[in-house]
Amino acid sequence: MAKKIVCLGGGSLYFPWAMTDLVRQDELAGSEIVLYDIDAEKVELMAKLGRRLAKEAGTQFRVRSTTNLADAVDGADFALSSIGGSGAEVTASVYGSRFHAADMHIPAKYGIHQIIGDTCGPAGMMMGLRSVPAYMRICREMERRCPKAILFNHSNPMAVLMRAIHKYTAINAIGICHGVQGGIGCAASLLGVQPWELQCTWIGTNHYYWFTRLVHKGRDMFPELLRRIAAKPAPKGNALSFRLGEIFGYPIVYAQDDHVVEFYPFLAQVPGGQKDLPYGLAEHAISHGYDESRPPTAKRVSPEERRAFFKRYREILAKTQLPPKHPKADGAHSLGEDVGGMIAAMSTGRRRLCIVNIANGGAIPNLPMTAEVEVEAVTDSSGVRALCMGNAPPVLKGILEKRFVWQELVADAAVKGDRKLALQALLVDEMAIWPDKAEAMLDELLDASRELLPQFFSKPRRRP
């Protein structure tokens, strides 16, 4: 069933993977992929890759590029976004942009030593403040030109973006990530079973969730998972998350310490700086592009740097190949994000198990209805319907409700350009510092991203 699928931020290096998934869907044969980006050179190179992949797949997909948003979304059935909140910076990922570098280095001056900075903390907030306006513009255009289209968002901060879209637009939006799938794989490895053989329930929001139930062929494996976590040395990069799972009594699903640590106050409690971070977290931060000892550059990308980037970019695209198809076990969700499979299933009205980020709507009955949660769901012709995940245990409920308030504050601040709401978000966050220091830090952070934050600078400033 031929559809129009628009890829927003189409020059992003997320799309080589996404297009390999899309063009292999026989049910979507003859569909059109339109890649939209504000960088014409990047997006046309990506379109050339898409045309090659489509030809190799033999599914008669048509692929083209455009820098015109109205043209891109006009009449679209589905949209897939990967927009990193760094404008037209030519970097392999948002983590290499000068904007994100400022998000990391400025808080470090105030004693907050972040690791990744794309989900929470000052850096996660700034990424949201820059990205939400772009999503608002896109969704307004979609409301005019394809109001029934389903938008899949792949970008971070996932929950903030999803809350802004759901609160301020009428677009049917679904967030996609691979954290839960990775966590199920990790649990299966610890238990010595296949991941698709586990029936799991978890509670939480993007990058921050806990298992509450694991069953393998009718046997309750939850106690055994806790026992094995306690009995074995934690894999590299999971020591903190395994320890926290032991303490709270619920194993953390997305077990990477570099994401988990940013949801706790620990990163504002390192007096010696990045070098004194425990659990190998300094190594994690440097691997994501943040080295406290190397000051960030505030300059724009030079012509030489742009040419070097495009050389690497072409090399990455040239190496992209169609992977082999893997049959999915009946009744099991994909072990990846599965955006192609979800779009194919929705196009035909077929039910398919999936993992998505959506508004709670009662899937976790004792959490707010509007909270953005990551849940198991089934597809249908109008999108997805969440499965019931059960109540959040009291300790997890308490932890999560504060996080939902932070997400709401950041979404509202981004849409309204409201400094007071942004300051409130900094003080609600677990990495909070003294109010006067937080306000000074906020001023520096906003100024460093001034060119991408017109909502904060296009009107007379009022002190928070």
352-374 pLDDT per residue, tens: 999 999 999 999 999 999 999 99
For the ranges 196-205, 290-299, 333-342, the one whose mean pLDDT is highest? 196-205
In a domain, 390, yes or no: yes
Residue 331, pLDDT > 60, answer no
Given a contact cutoff of 8 angstroms between Cβ atoms, the answer to whether 172 and 149 are in contact is yes
Domain of 329, in residue numbers: 89-116+177-453
The reply to whether 199 falls in a domain is yes
- The answer to the question of residue 11 being in a domain is no
In a domain? residue 99: yes
CATH of the domain at 301: 3.90.1820.10
In a domain, 126, yes or no: no
The structural domain count of the chain equals: 1
pLDDT exceeds cutoff 60 at 328? no
Mean pLDDT on 24-50: 97
Query: What are the backbone dihedrals phi and psi of residue 450, each rounded to the nearest 5 degrees, phi first?
Result: -50, -45
Question: 398 lies in a domain?
Answer: yes
pLDDT for the residue numbered 464: 47
Q: Provide the pLDDT confidence category of residue 333 given band limits of 50, 70 and 90.
A: low
Task: Decide if 15 is inside a domain.
Answer: no
Residues above pLDDT 70, as percent of the chain: 95
* pLDDT reading at 209 higher than 60: yes
* pLDDT exceeds 80 at position 330: no
User: Exposure of 271 by Cβ count < 10 A (0-12 exposed, 13-18 middle, 19+ buried)?
Assistant: exposed
Condensed to tens digits (0 to 9), the pLDDT of residues 116-170 reads 999 999 999 999 999 999 999 999 999 999 999 999 999 999 999 999 999 999 9
Does residue 307 sit within a domain? yes
89 compared with 382, residue with greater pLDDT: 382
